[in-house]
């Protein structure tokens, strides 16, 4: 099966090999076997190599962490922040510029995911960052970018967040941005559009941006950006003529009302609101200086507190800026234009990577008392969140007990990590079984308490489902709420089933919810991974773990769908364009992680002997690198469906290894993979 064209009329070119770490070149795949073999033996050998690879990557403290690659807006905004604060240095600028240039497409644009189309906002931000780095506007790569941007409307057509960054330097007018008053911090929790109606990632960003919006700072621009303007800037205030009877019309009129309020805002109320925002931001700073373990809220929080009088030597800002440096991945970019490069991660995923790696190694036959698994379990136990966070606004009497995604994030644990950590802990023979059991009991109670009214689970909050938040003119980029999703709910159900709660009414409600979420095709939508392959690969194992028989019609429809969308080479792949365009559903170059997801679903459905599984296993064995990993430049993770995509560099190992281990155990129990050298 071929994927849709990525260009105007041609077939998509085969992407270059992926990097195991940023800047590293590809390794050759394993040579073909010279002795008679079949899929079980090939799978066992591939799993052994992947096990060795994972064991070699474990930190001595017990955790794993792969690079979390997103797009160059992270790097561009980091340079813009440093320019705004007056702390930009030549070494950081040159390294960031080298990385940004390396991601530029042949047509002069930047995309938001590997192989994707040019994105206007990303292109404008990357271009501006390269101007900061000294790239002249008449250089070929710069002229191509600016010409493309002008053809698509220029600065005026970019997203609101891009124009906020440009407004900081006077390249865009604050008057032509949606109003975001800090007084919203005072809205009670029962009132529509209070800050807790937004998903945790959105509220962490919106609260500091209300400060920025109120202060409207402008630092002198180091150069003009006239070459990015398509014509006279169009004032956004009058751009919408939606009828008052529509939500868009209502909210655009609300924005006009807030603009009218701004000159007459009561100064004592405005001062009190800004002070409340400052307290809210400061109270949520983590022990390492970051905010929620995520780079974008940290950036805006630093700016907001600086505008409110914190100098750069203030302990809060000093810790915040130090935390931002820890998001940087330095490496050496090869080639004639190579040299030191600096990629900024949007966040870091050690808890997620560690629990997935633990499960993968256990499924591949690593003994439960293996030192690597024991160290991983010990580290995960130490990461359990034991204090209330924002989630407790809707669940005030619920005892804490979840896990977060990052190294330091006690404010925003999530049910997805919590479910997978429990599954991982149960696969390791930690010497202190009472400590494990206590942690798991605490996690189960917290997770059950986070169930939403309909029966499913969101990631960070319960019942965070108000669609009004996304109607605000300010919210033109990405998902801003955290409703229940099939993938998260499936992981929770699988965990609860493993804890012997199949008969619990809350688990039965969740299973009913999952069955109702199945799409007519037989697939499930993937909120946090791309896309229907991730959703289906998560849900089918959960359903069968919860006692739904493999012969159930929902399971059979999923199996039929997976077989029908298998690529001709034996793997599975799905492009991010499947989020906005149904024509792309389950279409794309085969990837190791997505092939692993499809195999996990088929194996859970009892299809280990079918041809589709054998072809998928053979594809994994055939495309494995000599170092035991797989090439995967494609982005198969999701922050916001379509708008913000992620390449988790460890996905290319943990999911194929989990699938290979389960396959070998199912078809040839005596041919268990695992490291023969211990």
> Which positions are catalytic?
416
d(CA 380, CA 468): 37
Residue 163, number of CB atoms within 10 A of its CB: 25
Long-range contacts of 382-391 (CB under 8 A, 24+ apart): 383/351, 383/421, 384/439, 384/442, 384/443, 385/409, 385/410, 385/413, 389/413, 390/196, 390/200, 390/203, 390/284, 390/460, 390/461, 391/200, 391/450, 391/460, 391/461, 391/462
d(CA 519, CA 529): 17
d(CA 646, CA 528): 10
Strands 68-69 and 339-344, by their bridges, are: unpaired
Calculated CA dihedral for residues 229, 230, 235, 241, nearest 10 degrees? -150
What percent of the residues of the chain are helix, what percent strand, and what percent coil, each to the nearest 5? 50, 5, 45
Q: Which of 624, 534, 512, 514 is nearest to 579 (CA)?
A: 534
Are the beta carbons of 481 and 469 closer than 8 angstroms?
A: yes
For tokens 């390269």, the residue is 130
Residue 28, number of CB atoms within 10 A of its CB: 9
d(CA 50, CA 20): 13
Residue 197, number of CB atoms within 10 A of its CB: 21
Phi, psi of 403 (to 5 degrees): -125, 145
d(CA 479, CA 639): 9
DSSP string computed for 134-173:
T--TTSHHHHHHHHHHHHTTBGGGS-HHHHHHHHTTTSS-
CA–centroid distance for 92 within its chain: 25
- 3-class secondary structure, 317: helix
CA count, 13 A, side-chain hemisphere, 663: 38
Are the beta carbons of 415 and 404 closer than 8 angstroms?
A: no
């Amino acid at each position: 099966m071929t994927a849709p064209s990525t260009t105007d009329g041609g077939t998509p070119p085969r992407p270059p090999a992926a990097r195991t770490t940023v800047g590293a070149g590809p390794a050759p795949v394993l040579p073909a076997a010279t002795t008679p073999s079949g899929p079980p033996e090939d799978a066992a050998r591939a799993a052994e190599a992947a096990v060795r690879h994972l064991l070699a990557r474990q930190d001595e403290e017990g955790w794993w962490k792969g690079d979390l690659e997103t797009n160059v807006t992270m790097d561009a905004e980091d340079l813009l922040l440093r320019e705004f604060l007056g702390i930009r240095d030549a070494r950081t600028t040159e390294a960031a510029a080298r990385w940004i240039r390396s991601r530029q497409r042949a047509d002069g644009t930047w995309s938001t995911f590997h192989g994707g189309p040019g994105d206007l906002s990303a292109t404008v931000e990357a271009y501006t960052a390269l101007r900061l780095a000294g790239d002249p506007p008449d250089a070929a790569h710069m002229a191509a970018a600016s010409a493309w941007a002008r053809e698509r409307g220029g600065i005026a057509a970019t997203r609101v967040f891009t124009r906020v960054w440009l407004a900081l330097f006077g390249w865009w007018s604050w008057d032509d941005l949606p109003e975001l008053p800090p007084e919203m911090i005072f809205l009670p929790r029962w009132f529509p559009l209070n800050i807790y109606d937004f998903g945790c990632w959105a509220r962490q960003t919106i609260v500091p941006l209300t400060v920025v919006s109120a202060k409207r700072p402008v630092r002198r621009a180091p150069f003009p950006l006239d070459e990015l303007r398509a014509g006279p800037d169009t004032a956004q205030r009058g751009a919408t003529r939606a009828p008052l009877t529509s939500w868009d019309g209502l909210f655009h009129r609300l924005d006009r009302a807030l603009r009218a309020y701004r000159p007459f805002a009561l100064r004592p109320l405005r001062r009190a609101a800004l002070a409340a925002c400052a307290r809210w931001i400061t109270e949520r700073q983590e022990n390492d200086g970051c905010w929620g373990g995520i780079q974008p809220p940290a950036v805006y929080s630093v700016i907001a507190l600086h505008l409110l009088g914190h100098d750069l030597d203030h302990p809060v800002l000093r810790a915040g800026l130090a935390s931002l440096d820890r998001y940087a991945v330095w490496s050496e970019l090869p080639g004639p234009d190579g040299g030191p490069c600096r990629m900024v991660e949007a966040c870091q995923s050690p808890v997620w990577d560690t629990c997935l790696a633990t499960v993968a190694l256990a499924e591949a036959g690593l003994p439960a008392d293996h030192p690597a698994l024991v160290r991983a379990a010990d580290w995960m136990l130490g990461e359990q969140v034991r204090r209330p966070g924002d989630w407790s606004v809707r669940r005030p009497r619920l005892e804490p007990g979840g896990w977060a995604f990052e190294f330091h994030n006690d404010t925003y644990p999530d049910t997805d990590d919590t479910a997978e950590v429990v599954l991982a802990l149960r696969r390791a023979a930690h010497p202190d079984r009472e400590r494990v059991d206590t942690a798991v009991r605490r996690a189960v109670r917290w997770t059950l308490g986070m169930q939403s009214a309909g029966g499913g689970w969101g990631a960070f909050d319960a019942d965070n489902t108000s669609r009004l938040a996304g109607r605000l003119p300010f919210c033109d980029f990405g998902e801003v709420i955290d409703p229940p999703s099939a993938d998260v709910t499936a992981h929770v159900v699988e965990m609860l089933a493993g804890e012997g709660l199949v008969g619990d009414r809350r688990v039965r409600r969740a299973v009913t919810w999952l069955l109702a979420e199945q799409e007519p095709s037989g697939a499930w939508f993937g909120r946090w991974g791309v896309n229907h392959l991730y959703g289906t690969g998560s849900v089918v194992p959960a359903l069968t773990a919860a006692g739904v028989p493999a012969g159930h019609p929902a399971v059979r429809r999923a199996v039929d769908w997976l077989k029908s969308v298998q690529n001709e080479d034996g793997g599975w792949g799905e492009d991010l364009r499947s989020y906005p365009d149904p024509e792309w559903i389950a279409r794309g170059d085969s990837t190791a992680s997505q092939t692993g997801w499809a195999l996990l679903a088929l194996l859970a459905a009892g299809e280990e002997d079918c041809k589709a599984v054998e072809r998928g296993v053979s594809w994994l064995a055939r495309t494995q690198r000599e170092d035991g990993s797989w090439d995967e430049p494609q982005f198969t993770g999701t922050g916001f469906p379509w708008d913000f995509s992620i390449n988790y560099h460890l996905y290319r190992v943990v999911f194929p290894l989990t699938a290979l281990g389960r396959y070998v155990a199912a078809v040839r129990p005596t041919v268990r993979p695992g490291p023969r050298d211990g």
